[in-house]
Copies of this chain bind each other. A is one copy, B any other.
Amino acid sequence: MYPESVEELRRRTRDFIRGTVLPAEPRPGQALNLTVRRDLAQAAREAGVFAPHMPVEYGGQGLALEHCSPVFQEAGYSPIGPAVLNCMAPDEGNMHMLNLIGTGEQKKRFLAPLAAGEISSCFAMSEPHPGAGSDPEALATTAVRDGSGWRIDGHKRFTSGATFAGFAIVMARTGADGATGKGAPDGATIFLVPMDTPGVRLGAPIHTTDRYLPGGHPHVHFDGVHVPGSAVLGEVGLGFTYAQLRLGPARLTHCMRWLGLARRAMDIMLDRANTREIFGAHLSQLGIAQEMIAQSCIDLETSDAIIAKCASLLAVDPKAGSALSSMAKVHCSEAVYRVIDRAVQLCGGDGVSDGLPLAQYLNEVRPFRIYDGSTETHKWAIARRAVSSRRRAVEGGEPFQGAVHNHDGER
């Protein structure tokens, strides 16, 4: 159901990941060595699978978002695959954004080397309490006009990839009031800030449960950082709009990649079922394993289906697609976790040990139920949209369904 060219790229990617990347994976709990990553990236370029989502002019394979899923799933079959193919978060979402709204000059300076894998980047959005978290409106980092440029002050955290990044995409408040915004539209503005700009300082790392990619998710401090006017990405004051633009697709590509890792976990549990005891020793317990295997198949296929539906919708109706991406994100992040959790269980003691990579996979995906909007935050938004959309429909003439049959003079 995908064009043949996409299917070809998928097969190439599959062959590359299984033939070249799998043998080079670090041991569970270890991080990908940067030299190994560089070598594998070069091999990916030569294999014609590098940067699948980027236009050919930037060295990519020219995939549209609605065709990314099969290819990204193949990439994600290895926990280091997306990094090797340069389609890992946050770089992948940053490239997407730069490509959409960057100026020619910005693309040349930031996008080209990023797409080529020469530098990496980070997305500086989350802040310590009570700043921007699930609620971006609480943004505390500020940017005020300073001569022809801007001065940025703030404190970010969970800034994945900052340790090795060449530049940061920074979200800062640029208010309407004279004090901070000097006439700028009220809201947020996005800035491109090289990490070696004076005043940018890497803070303490935050270690979350993932381990495959080095560098953690550190604090980053911006203390009186001066940037020129050309550092503004897109228009002043439209930061939140752009962030939304980035978020829908970024959320979905996360689903694609992690779904690939869930397929890996599935293969591990199936190979176990095919060759050895499960649950320790009792082959006779295969029955209970069947329940777990079947439910995992269903989790994988429904995830694949909702991703495909959402990617198609994003292409024709970004607003509806973004709303649907909330549901896709919740379903896929929970489904992926369940599949890996069942694989752990099926492999018994080996499942929780470093003799198999499953326990680390579980830790790798655990944060995905939280970042890019936690399951609960999305549910809250999904429910609110459903309730208000139905209310408008009824107000618009849809037959009201809530009336209780009049038994006894009761409405």
Q: Which residues of A contact B (CB under 8 A)?
A: 1, 18, 22, 27-29, 126, 128-130, 133-135, 138, 155, 157-158, 203-209, 217, 219, 264, 266-268, 270-277, 279-282, 284-295, 297-298, 301-302, 304-306, 308-309, 312-313, 316, 324, 327, 330-331, 344-346, 348-356, 359, 362-363, 366-367, 369-371, 374-380, 382-384, 386-387, 390-391, 394, 398-402, 404-405, 407-411
Contact = CB atoms under 8 A, between A and B. Distances in A.
A208 B359 contact: yes
Given A133-B281, A277-B129, A291 B206 contact: no
A134 to B, nearest CB: 3
Contact of A294 (B306, B349, B359, B382): B382
B331 A352 contact: no
Contacts of A28: 405
Report how many copies the assembly holds: 4
Q: Mostly helix, strand, loop or mixed at chain A's interface?
A: helix
Given A206-B349, A291-B379, 4 more contacts: A155-B409, A293-B386, A302-B327, A352-B366
A327 B123 CA distance: 38
A272 B264 CA distance: 36
B402 A279 contact: no
A272 B394 CA distance: 12
A274 B391 contact: yes
B359 A400 contact: no
B374 A268 contact: no
A387 B306 CA distance: 24
Given A1-B312, A407-B355, A410-B219, A376 B276 contact: no
Nearest to A290: B383
A298 B380 contact: no
In the complex, which of the residues A134, A279, A366 has the most CB atoms of chain B within 10 Å of its own CB atom?
A279
A384 B408 CA distance: 36
Given A133-B349, A280-B377, A264 B401 contact: yes
Given A134-B279, A264-B401, A284-B380, A349 B327 contact: no
Contacts of A367: 349, 352
